[in-house]
């Protein structure tokens, strides 16, 4: 359940929960759902329920056994704030992250309203970064919800970016990731959408990370935007929470 990740903005994944349900247009071609179906067909025991929300208590303590500090994306195959994940289990996940203070944990959700409701009931150690996904302007309210969360680092995953975000407000946002949709049926991301977000990040001093153009062959399309790669992260806050990894 803890695997080296090919996601450009993290190092490893940890999935104490797997499975999810679609909640907005960005979910239409979910990579996690495709992968879960494949793993289910292969007989992988953690996916015996296919893509139904499943809690994996045996995976809770895994990060405590990883002695090498690393950046860990939590629930790449689910959403920790899904309505079917009980508060008690979420608390246990946060408790492990609090104990494993030598790692940096990145939590990402589309369910920002539940995040806001539960945030006062959870610990927020400095090694836990909290983010929301926003794929089009209709879901910009998720950014407002995120601002209410007392995380050391608040970040946005604007992926898959399905439309322009002219009303994006970067107040109290520490990091922005932008990416196009990849895989079968992927929808086009226009360059002007990404450049507009890039320009806002530069204007307001927010680290900007361009993950990919996407498409059926995402490697062929690459990661170059406006003549260069963009790999900025909130380094000062990263060093405070995760000094060993920042020094590598």
pLDDT in tens, the chain (248 residues): 456 898 999 999 999 999 999 999 999 999 999 999 999 999 999 999 999 999 999 999 999 999 999 999 999 999 999 999 999 999 999 999 999 999 999 999 999 999 999 999 999 999 999 999 999 999 999 999 999 999 999 999 999 999 999 999 999 999 999 999 998 899 999 999 999 999 999 999 999 999 999 988 888 889 999 999 999 999 755 565 555 544 43
| Structural domains of the chain, count | 1
Indicate the burial class of 65 (C-beta count within 10 angstroms; 0-12, 13-18, 19 or more).
Answer: exposed
Return the pLDDT at 217: 83
Domain CATH for 202: 3.20.20
Return the pLDDT at 242: 56
Range of the domain at 135: 2-247
Return the pLDDT at 71: 95
CB 118 within 8 A of CB 80: no
Return the pLDDT at 216: 86
Return the pLDDT at 245: 45
What pairing do the DSSP bridges indicate for beta strands 54-55 and 208-212? unpaired
Return the pLDDT at 246: 43
From CA 176, how far away is CA 158, in angstroms rounded? 7
CB 103 within 8 A of CB 242: yes
From CA 213, how far away is CA 180, in angstroms rounded? 5
């Amino acid at each position: 359940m803890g695997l080296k990740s090919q996601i450009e903005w993290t190092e490893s994944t940890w999935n104490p929960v797997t499975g999810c349900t679609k909640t907005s247009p960005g979910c239409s071609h979910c990579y996690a759902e495709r992968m879960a179906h494949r793993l289910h067909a292969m007989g992988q025991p953690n996916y015996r329920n296919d893509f139904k929300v499943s809690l994996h208590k045996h995976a809770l303590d895994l990060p405590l056994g990883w002695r090498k500090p690393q950046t860990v994306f939590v629930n790449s195959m689910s959403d920790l704030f899904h309505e079917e994940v009980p508060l008690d289990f979420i608390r246990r996940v946060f408790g492990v992250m609090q104990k494993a203070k030598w790692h940096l944990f990145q939590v990402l959700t589309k369910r920002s309203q539940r995040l806001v409701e539960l945030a006062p009931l959870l610990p927020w150690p400095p090694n836990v970064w909290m983010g929301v996904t926003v794929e089009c302007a209709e879901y910009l309210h998720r950014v407002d919800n995120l601002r209410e969360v007392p995380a050391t680092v608040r970040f946005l995953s604007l992926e898959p970016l399905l439309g322009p975000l002219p009303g994006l407000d970067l107040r109290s946002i520490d990091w922005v990731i932008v990416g196009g949709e990849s895989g079968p049926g992927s929808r086009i991301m226009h360059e002007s959408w990404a450049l507009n977000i890039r320009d806002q990040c530069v204007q307001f001093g927010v680290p900007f990370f361009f993950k990919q153009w996407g498409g059926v062959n995402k490697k062929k399309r690459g990661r170059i935007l406006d003549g260069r790669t963009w790999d900025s992260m909130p380094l000062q806050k990263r060093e405070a929470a995760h000094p060993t990894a920042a020094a590598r």
